[in-house]
Amino acid sequence: MIWTTALALTISFVSAGASPPPVAPDFAWWTEARFGMFVHWGLYSEAGSVWKGKFLPGWSEWMLNRKKIPPDEYHAELTPRFDPVDFDADAWVRAAKDAGMKYIVITTKHHEGFALWPSAAGEQDIATTHFGKPKSQGGRERDPLRELADACKRHGIKLGFYYSLLDWSHPDYLPRREWDTRSIDGAEYPRYTTYMRAQVKELLDGRYGEIAVLWGDGDWEHGAREHTSDEIVAMARALQPGILVNDRWSQPGDYATPENKIPDAGPARPWETCMTLNNSWGYARDDHEFKSAAAVLRNLADIVSKGGNYLLNIGPDGKGRIDPESMSVLSSIALWMKTHSTSIHGNGRAPLPVPEWGKWTMAQSDEGTATLNAHLFSAPKGGVIQLAGVMDEPLSIRVPGNEFAVGKDSLRRDGADLLVQLNADALEAIGKASTVDTTPHAVIEVEFASMPRVLTAPEILGDDSIFVDGIVLRLSPPPAGAVIHVTTNGSMPTLETPPLVRDGQRGYSVALTRSATVRARASWNGQLSSAETTRRVDQVELLPASVCDALGASAKSGLIAKILLGEFEVVPGSKDFDAVIDLARVDSIRIPENAPLDRYAVQIRGVIETRLPGVYRFEISSDDGSELWIDGRLVIDNGGLHGATSKFGDIALAGGCHEIEVRMFESVGGEALSLRWRVPFESDFTAIPAKAFRRSLGQ
Ligand code: H79
């Protein structure tokens, strides 16, 4: 058993080594862009959310599902009608470009299953419409993707392809909707994935030139294995070096894609919020609830201030036209962009606290100058904009669009903070913009000769929260000329707290041998930073270990897995598995081979061997919920119904053997389970070697 696995591993390494290593995802243009256009266009655009004469509010691209329309009937009705004679790729691309959007992502195939390009892989594509049919068959022989790709190239706009893994129409896609009348006999999901790979290959094989993004969607009905996600993503990277792959291919991908929401704080990894302009992605005839340009631009500033991208959607109609309401929003955005794009493109997080009046974005130029951009959604209290802890003097203050003037004489200092005082005219102009939604917000650009030194609270590095004998906490160094004040007894650091002395080897650090609450602030020129940092660290005892029997180890290697069938919404308890008599052996924490696709729970139990005493940090990833227990203690609670989610937990372990138990459950859709650890004195997480696991202690 062990040998077969080892052999299989060797073979896969060899074959993987044969192809050249993939080019790293190219984020440079994407980070600079910050703003893109999402286009939802398909058969649903022709329907416009109207079925049998009745308008259905909500997402038009979901009409087949929401109206429970049999796919054959849906296609029979809409395929003959789809003839977008007014489609003008140049007009779309110009509208995007003028609005400051640097890339376009278009739905090449949505859940309805209709391919927007002539696809040799299947039967439901543009070549079955009059618009796409070859001229020899009396059609117009037009390919929207080709026209769009050409227009994007002409205008210097990057192009990305959205592709739905979910497909309500393909005969091999499973599960079928319950109102689908076609026979299910002979339907095979693997054949659907072959179709999917063939289509993605057509999209990326170069016929449409450079494709910058592959935007998957609808991955939740199956997991990565079933979708052959690894194969698809590897193919995409091989065909389009540097392509960005989103996180909806049943795997984490290159960036996160929150939908219709802006995260409170941007995640650490690259991310992009996609959002509708009205209440539907696809064209919806009677939906006139459009966001104002001002609202869109506030969203954009918010997203950029958190280091993300904004993919704003439009839904052209069945004739290929962008409706006048969307066009008018795009033109207002374009007007604002003419004078304000410098506060968006190439911008990101600023090292300043979130202000009460709006958002800060920041950009650095190639020449090294840096600009802090105040996006003023409302008038600041007392007309004062605070640049907390900014130690350098700005070169200039500019108000693009000249809504009002702000001279250098409006600058003052308050301790470590730099203040800009706005006059009455300025406040009136800002106030007007914030109450009239038709007027986008004002921006004040504060430019510096180089990255300004900012006196923020010192950062306490690392993620330690427990230690055994002692611990050294390192702190980020203060800007040149500033000092750090640290207390370890929970009291607020002041100027009287002696400055922390830098150690040649350790840098700035505090050594602790007892539980402590560490608080840190910085000061400059006798002025304390307004912000502070706190970290609680607790001294704990090592959990004693049992002696592992080295001789008996190989005979007892592996862990014991039990599977419990049923519908779960929380992680079941240990006792729930007592009645299960079927045992499987696994050599790591993962879903056993004999698990069904959906609706089950797994328990994996055994012993884990630790070589060194000290604090172990574990990371469990699962879809859906899971728990990690060591020596009867809950180390990580990653419970609940969710997609693939990682959680961390710390525990201090003596060297030797400890009881380990992982329980997880899978409701429906994607499934995943893995466990990694970080051993004492190491800084990286690693896979737990198979030899660390035993079924039981070998006495
Ligand atoms: O293409 C857009 C959506 O159609 C697609 N992603 C974006 C970019 C998407 N499909 N599904 N979802 C997002 C999440 C599922 C939403 C649902 Fe519903 C809630 C499905 C059923 C309930 C919305 C409301 C659709 C039907 C009713």
Please check whether residues 425 and 478 belong to one and the same domain. no
Q: Using alpha carbons, list the distances in angstroms from residue 262 to 29, 38, 296, 300, 309.
A: 22, 16, 12, 10, 10
What is the reported pTM?
0.79
**What angle, 0 to 180 degrees and rounded to 10, lies between the N-to-C axes of helices 229-239 and 189-204?**
10
- Tokens 């996180």 locate to 247
59 within ligand 1 shell (Cβ under 6 A): yes
46 within ligand 1 shell (Cβ under 6 A): no
Please check whether residues 566 and 505 belong to one and the same domain. no
Please name the residue whose Cα sits nearest to atom 3 of ligand 1: 281
H or E segment to which residue 662 belongs: strand 656-666
**What CA–CA distance (Å, rounded) separates 356 from 375?**
11
pLDDT at residue number 3: 34
Please check whether residues 308 and 423 belong to one and the same domain. no
Number of structural domains in the chain:
4
Please name the residue whose Cα sits nearest to atom 24 of ligand 1: 59
274 within ligand 1 shell (Cβ under 6 A): yes
pLDDT at residue number 9: 38
> Does residue 350 belong to any structural domain of this protein?
no
| Ligand 1 center from residue 666 Cα (angstroms) | 22
Please check whether residues 276 and 193 belong to one and the same domain. yes
Please check whether residues 217 and 117 belong to one and the same domain. yes
Please check whether residues 382 and 257 belong to one and the same domain. no
| Cis ω for the linkage preceding 477 (within 30 of 0) | no
pLDDT at residue number 152: 98
Low-confidence residues of the chain: pLDDT under 70? 1-21, 402-404, 433-438, 550-555, 698-699
Residue 314 neighbours by CB distance under 10 Å: 25
> Does residue 1 belong to any structural domain of this protein?
no
> Does residue 409 belong to any structural domain of this protein?
yes
pLDDT at residue number 414: 86
**Residue 558, by phi and psi: left (phi above 0), alpha (psi -120 to 50) or beta?**
left
pLDDT at residue number 551: 54
Q: Residue 258 sits in which domain range?
A: 7-343
Question: Any idea what the CATH number is for the domain that residue 514 is in?
Answer: 2.60.40
> Does residue 669 belong to any structural domain of this protein?
yes
| Ligand 1 center from residue 109 Cα (angstroms) | 15
The closest alpha carbon to 584, from 594, 573, 575, 574, belongs to 594
> Does residue 429 belong to any structural domain of this protein?
yes
| Ligand 1 center from residue 276 Cα (angstroms) | 12
Please name the residue whose Cα sits nearest to atom 14 of ligand 1: 218
